[in-house]
Amino acid sequence: MSSLTFTIIQTQLHWEDKAANRRMLEEKINSLTEKTEVVILPEMFSTGFSMKPGQLAEDMDGETVAWMKRISAQKKIILTGSLIIKQDDKYMNRLVWMLPNGQMGLYDKRHLFAYAHEDEHYTAGSKRLIASVKGWKLNLLVCYDLRFPVWSRQGQHAPDKHQGLEYDILIYVANWPEKRSHMWRTLLQARAIENQCFCIGVNRVGKDGNGIQHSGDSMVVNPLGEVLYHKANEEDIYTFTLQKEDLIDIREKMPFWKDADPFLIIPD
């Protein structure tokens, strides 16, 4: 059975200052003393949750993706988080899953937060990204996606009894406001329970340029919905290891996933 070690970086962000955020995050990553394999940053980690993509967007050859590539290679880690990307005259809130060898996976946020007019500035994605690491499968999503269980719902595609589900870990990167933190915490637990997977939520802290306060409340939840880690209202860097045998044990003893309804997701 394999293990996988993650580091969560729950941090304040410099509002719409990409260079300052890259410097700050590089210092935090360089401060790590424990061995880690995957480092998770918040949503729009280089800018904060800004509705100014025309001023702040980069392309995939821009400085921030290059920074992710350099850090990942130097530290021999997988580095992930979302940032503002321009492609074909469209703007995306794009999660980048950067491997040390420079290869990457991409996920464009599917559910745009219309309450804050995100849908007026960005283009929604239509494809999920499920990454593979050391025999683990990870479903990578962004913030508001958390409210929509259909998009994260497990599919049953693999025949092996230990790998009979589509993925093992759900990861949400976010800029989720403090005033709705109860919903954030509750839904992270719900997604873990209904999908019989580990669920990791990484949120920012502090007040953004619009005066919106964020409490963090980053969490790690096991497939039973039990909270393994939770931190609110302060910056934190937390490293932890998940064990595949714990996941398989739960799925074998309580194979609720076998009774799920079949379905097919057909994006617009």
Instruction: Catalytic residue, from 18, 109, 178, 231: name it.
Output: 109
Instruction: Catalytic residue, from 69, 143, 194, 197: name it.
Output: 143
- Cβ contacts of residue 43 below 8 Å, gap of 6+? 49, 81, 82, 93, 142, 143, 173, 174, 175, 204
Bridge partners of 107, per DSSP, are: 95
What's the number of CA atoms in the CB half-sphere (13 Å) around residue 2?
11
Answer yes or no: 134 catalytic.
no
Answer yes or no: 109 catalytic.
yes
Q: Within 10 Å of residue 135's Cβ, how many Cβ atoms?
A: 12
Residues 210, 123, 87: CA angle, nearest 5 degrees: 105
The packing angle between helices 63-75 and 18-30, to 10°, is 10
d(CA 229, CA 206): 20
Answer yes or no: 86 catalytic.
no
- Give the SS3 label for residue 51: coil
Alpha-carbon distances of 127 from 83, 186, 208, rounded to whole Å: 17, 25, 29
**Number of alpha helices (DSSP H) and beta strands (DSSP E) in the chain:** 7, 13
Type and span of the H or E element at 70: helix 63-75
Instruction: Catalytic residue, from 16, 18, 43, 178: name it.
Output: 43
Active site residues: 43, 109, 143
